[in-house]
Structure 1
Amino acid sequence: EDIHHAKALDARGIGYIDCGVSGGIWGLENGYALMVGGSEEHVDRAMPLFDALRPEGPRSEGFVHAGPIGAGHYSKMVHNGIEYGLMQAYAEGFELLEATELVENVPAVIEAWSRGTVVRSWLLDLLVRALKDDPELSGISGWTQDSGEGRWTVEEAIRNAVPVPVISAALFARFASRQETSPSMKAVSALRNQFGGHSTSRADAALDQVKAAAR
Structure 2
Amino acid sequence: MSEKASIGVTGLAVMGRNLARNLARHGYRVAVHNRTPQRTRDLVERFGSEGEFVPAYSAESFVAALSRPRQIVVMVKAGAATDAVIDEFAELLEPGDVLVDAGNAHFADTRRREAALRERGLHFVGTGVSGGEEGALHGPSIMPGGSEESYRTLGPLLEDIAAKVDGTPCCAHIGPDGSGHFVKMVHNGIEYSDMQLIAESFDLLRGALGYEPAQIAEVFRTWNTGRLDSYLIEITSEVLAHTDAETGRPFVDVIADQAEQKGTGRWTVQTGLDLGIPISGIAEATFARSLSGHTALRAAAADLAGPPRTPLSGSAAQRFADDVEQALYASKVVAYAQGFDQIRAAGQEYGWNIDLGSVAAIWRGGCIIRAKFLDDIRAAFAADPAQPTLLTSGEFRKALEAAQDSWRSVVATAVRLGIPTPGLSTALAYYDGVRAPRLPAALVQAQRDYFGAHTYRRVDREGTFHTEWAEPTRPESRVDQP
Scaled by the length of structure 2, the TM-score of the pair is 0.37
Aligned partner of 2:197 among 81, 84, 89 = 89
Cα RMSD over matched residues?
2.5
Distance in 1, Cα, partners of 2:143 & 2:305: 52
Counterpart check, 1:132 vs 2:132: no
Q: CA distance change for structure 1 residues 53 and 205 in 2, over 3 Å: closer, same or farther? A: same
Aligned partner of 1:165 among 266, 269, 280 = 280
Quick check: 33-42 or 52-61, which moved more?
A: 52-61
Counterpart check, 1:120 vs 2:229: yes
The higher radius of gyration belongs to 2
Greater relative contact order (Cα 8 A, min sep 6): structure 1 or 2? 1
Q: CA distance change for structure 1 residues 29 and 126 in 2, over 3 Å: closer, same or farther? A: farther
Q: Is the 8 A contact 1:21 1:34 kept in 2?
A: yes
1:109 is aligned to: 219
Q: CA distance change for structure 1 residues 109 and 7 in 2, over 3 Å: closer, same or farther? A: same
Distance in 2, Cα, partners of 1:32 & 1:56: 9
Scaled by the length of structure 1, the TM-score of the pair is 0.79
- Partner SS, residue 18 of structure 1: strand
Shift of 1:44: 1.2
Distance in 2, Cα, partners of 1:48 & 1:70: 20
1:193 is aligned to: none
Distance in 1, Cα, partners of 2:172 & 2:163: 12
Distance in 1, Cα, partners of 2:132 & 2:114: 26
- Unaligned runs of at least 5 residues, structure 1: 190-200, 207-215
- Partner SS, residue 115 of structure 1: coil
Distance in 1, Cα, partners of 2:209 & 2:135: 39
Counterpart check, 1:71 vs 2:179: yes
Q: CA distance change for structure 1 residues 152 and 114 in 2, over 3 Å: closer, same or farther? A: same
Distance in 2, Cα, partners of 1:92 & 1:57: 30
Shift of 1:61: 5.0
- Unaligned runs of at least 5 residues, structure 2: 1-108, 244-249, 307-482
Q: Is the 8 A contact 2:217 2:238 kept in 1?
A: no
Q: Is the 8 A contact 1:94 1:106 kept in 2?
A: yes
Q: Look up the equivalent residue of 2:278 and give its one-letter code.
A: P
Distance in 2, Cα, partners of 1:131 & 1:54: 30
Q: Deviations over 1:143-190 (max 9, x none)?
A: 11111111111111111111111111000000001011328x97xx7x
Q: Is the 8 A contact 2:159 2:169 kept in 1?
A: no
Aligned partner of 2:297 among 182, 188, 197 = 182
Runs of 4+ in 1 over 4 A off after TM superposition: 57-61
Shift of 1:58: 6.0
Q: Where in structure 2 are the equivalents of 1:199-214 lying within 5 Å?
A: 202=303
Distance in 2, Cα, partners of 1:138 & 1:10: 52
Q: Is the 8 A contact 1:113 1:119 kept in 2?
A: yes
Q: Where in structure 2 are the equivalents of 1:40-55 lying within 5 Å?
A: 40-55=148-163
- From the two aligned structures, give the one with the greater helix fraction: 1
Aligned partner of 1:24 among 127, 132, 154 = 132
- Partner SS, residue 174 of structure 2: strand
Shift of 1:60: 5.5
Quick check: 93-102 or 14-23, which moved more?
A: 93-102
2:271 is aligned to: 156
Q: Is the 8 A contact 1:51 1:59 kept in 2?
A: no
Shift of 1:57: 4.6
- Partner SS, residue 272 of structure 2: helix
Q: Look up the equivalent residue of 1:89 and give its one-letter code.
A: L
Shift of 1:12: 3.0
- Partner SS, residue 34 of structure 1: strand
- Partner SS, residue 127 of structure 2: strand
Identical counterparts, % of pairs: 34
Q: CA distance change for structure 1 residues 28 and 93 in 2, over 3 Å: closer, same or farther? A: same
1:198 is aligned to: none
Distance in 2, Cα, partners of 1:20 & 1:96: 34
Distance in 2, Cα, partners of 1:77 & 1:167: 11
- Partner SS, residue 287 of structure 2: helix
Aligned partner of 1:56 among 158, 161, 164 = 164
Q: CA distance change for structure 1 residues 4 and 60 in 2, over 3 Å: closer, same or farther? A: farther
- Partner SS, residue 63 of structure 1: coil
Q: Deviations over 1:72-124 (max 9, x none)?
A: 000001111111110000000001111134546221111111112x2221111
2:141 is aligned to: 33
Q: Deviations over 1:3-57 (max 9, x none)?
A: 2212332333321111001111331454110111111110111123202320135
